Copies of this chain bind each other. A is one copy, B any other.
Amino acid sequence: MSQVNHRFTLAARPVGMTKPTDFAYGEAPVREPAAGEILVKVRYISLDPAMRGWMNDYKSYIAPIGIGELFRAGAIGEVVASNDPAFAPGDHALGMLGVQEYATVAAKDATKILPIAPLPLFLSGLGMPGLTAYFGLLDVGRPQPGETVVVSGAAGAVGAQVGQIAKIKGCRAVGIAGGADKCAYLRELGFDAAIDYKAEDVAAALREHCPDGIHVFFDNVGGAILDAALARLALRARVVICGAISQYNATDRVTGPANYLSLLVNRASMTGMIVFDYAARYPQAIAEMAGWMSEGKLRSKEHIVRGLENFPSAFNMLFTGENHGKLILEV
């Protein structure tokens, strides 16, 4: 096969917001699958805030992307050649396929997907964001019926699922998002209240909408919003640290939560979570969430940008807040 594979590599480590010159668009030959490998034609690529962290050269739960290396990304596509009995051409494969047209990966690192739902959904409500919401809220947050669950970045792919699952579990759901449109979307999804952090005093709004305090705070944002939520914790509250999008482009130091002593006053806990730890339980969670979707209790919204070459500008939308729904790049 002498086909050309278009792909993005990391050109430079960004300082603050990414620039077009931090990414390099180039060509490489498509590599035939060796024994145990498959060749996948990439169809949809997931764009996630965590990818910004991989561009930095520091220790995290996953190694940074090297300069000149393929830009790492979760994606879904169709198998076009297989050298492993687990996959046949025409199968759908999900995995860390990268920002490229053709991925040659080990079959053991890919998951076979039965396309019972539109493919983008497996990068969204039934994919990592949905699974992150599911395990972060239910396993770490442990909400009880009647409790108040607050989520930041609530109109994002993870946040929207957190609020809806909280409602399914009999909780009061309050979302924090930026802009009237996003807040209207949250109310449409069934959130009990939506706080527009661009237009409202978040601390005052939390006092209004959480009269009994916050029992579970699911944080995707960090910074001032995390502090406002900490100041409003209920006794024995659980804070789930899922991300800190307000901090990912920080050129100075990250701003720590000045109100962390609220954990002491309220005997509360703050716990980090990473969805990969729950891999063994993905199938069960996907089945349960697909059930909720078929009952109309759980909805998922995707924002699809077309064209591999638009990756750098699409990626930046995550940090400017321009996307509405899970951001996905269609190849």
Contact = CB atoms under 8 A, between A and B. Distances in A.
Interface string A249-286: 00001111111111111111111111001000000000
B265 A60 contact: yes
Contacts of A194: none
A254 B244 contact: no
A241 interface: yes
B254 A261 contact: yes
A243 B254 CA distance: 22
A269 B269 contact: yes
Contacts of A269: 269-272
B270 A270 contact: yes
Contacts of A254: 258-261
Contacts of A253: 258
B258 A241 contact: no
B277 A272 contact: no
Given A241-B261, A258-B256, A268 B271 contact: yes
A227 B263 CA distance: 16
Give the most central of A222, A242, A270: most B CB within 10 Å: A270
A261 B277 contact: no
Contact of A256 (B227, B243, B274): B227
Interface string A125-153: 00000000000000000000000000000
Contacts of A260: 241, 254, 256-257, 260, 270
A15 B258 CA distance: 18
Given A256-B227, A256-B256, A267-B277, A247 B272 contact: no
Contacts of A227: 256
Looking at A242, A244, A257, A260, the one whose CB has the most chain B CB atoms below 10 A away is A260
Nearest to A248: B261
16 contacts: A60-B265, A227-B256, A241-B264, A247-B261, A253-B258, A254-B260, A255-B256, A255-B258, A257-B257, A260-B260, A261-B272, A266-B272, A267-B271, A267-B273, A269-B270, A269-B272
List the 7 shortest-distance A-B pairs measured between CB atoms, nearest first.
A256-B256, A264-B272, A263-B272, A269-B271, A256-B258, A256-B257, A270-B270
